Amino acid sequence: MATNKINPTQIDEENPEWTAADFKKARPASKVLREILPEQTAAKMLAQSQAEF
Q: The whole model's pTM is what? A: 0.50
Residue 1, pLDDT score: 58
Residue 33, pLDDT score: 92
Residue 10, pLDDT score: 78
Return the higher-pLDDT residue of 5 and 27.
27
Residue 2, pLDDT score: 63
8 Å CB contact between 32 and 25: no
C-alpha angle 9/11/16, rounded to 5°? 170
8 Å CB contact between 30 and 46: yes
pLDDT in tens, 22-50: 999 999 988 999 999 999 999 999 898 76
CB atoms near residue 44 (< 10 Å): 13
Residue 35, pLDDT score: 93
